[in-house]
Amino acid sequence: MNIRVGHLYPDYLNIYADRGNIAVLARRAAWRGHELDVTEIEIGDAVEPGAHDLYYLGGGQDREQLLVSHDLAAKAEQLKEAHAGGAAFLAVCGGYQLLGRGYRGHHGDDMPGVGLLPLETVAGDRRLIGNVLIETEVGPVAGFENHAGRTLLDPAAEPLGRVVSGFGNDGQSGYEGCRLGRAVGTYLHGPLLPRNPRLADWILAQALAHRTGGEPPELAPLDDELEAEAQAVSSGRARGR
């Protein structure tokens, strides 16, 4: 079965090797007999709700975020319709900020967002940088964060996880990321998915559920020995900071 992925602005939002997340999803899908069919969605391209099972936004510098933000906001209603129809979303760092209501940068630039995730972001005085470990519903998730943004979730919003070590959304709340149904936003780079196979499989299962119109399937287990070792190294670095 082919899993249809809409990769938003890959030429602009691809800092810290975030394109590697697509490669991981493609490989883990292929090992189960599925194929990732990736369509790049650029500035000016239309979004057709129902055409993709998963939408992906990577991270970018403020300049790149500013370049895409107004086009992304123009796609907001179609993207929210896709989410309401069961499509999955993964948004990393700058993409995470723009999947919320928007981001105000260091120089006062207001970058409108999709308004899908119940959050907003403003730039802080210093960057939050380092290894990070969080605890989520799918288990521990490890990565690397490097962001100036301070992301504030709405009171009823669900974070992706609780910070074990690191800064997370704002360095104060103790939470990292946000999850709304099949949409996940996070600051974790690395890239994120190579060292977090359980999260990768959760995302694949959500995308497959949209493709089939059913429930998220139980995916066949894989040999994740190397992935587990990578996660253990990242977790150890986070705990040792």
Domain at 150, CATH number: 3.40.50.880
Rg of the chain in Å (alpha carbons): 16
Query: 61 with 237: CB under 8 angstroms?
Result: no
| Total count of residues recorded for the chain | 241
Residues 6+ apart with CB under 8 A from 212: 1
**Number of structural domains found in the chain:** 1
Q: Examine the residue annotation and report whether 178 is marked as an active-site residue of this protein.
A: no
Catalytic residue among 93, 147, 178, 210: 93
Catalytic residue among 52, 83, 189, 210: 189
pLDDT in tens, 138-191: 999 999 999 999 999 999 999 999 999 999 999 999 999 999 999 999 999 989
pTM of the entire predicted model: 0.96
Q: Which residues pair with 186 in a beta bridge?
A: 92
Q: Which domain holds residue 77?
A: 2-239
pLDDT in tens, 211-235: 999 999 999 999 999 999 999 999 9
Q: Examine the residue annotation and report whether 210 is marked as an active-site residue of this protein.
A: no
Q: Which residues pair with 162 in a beta bridge?
A: 135, 175
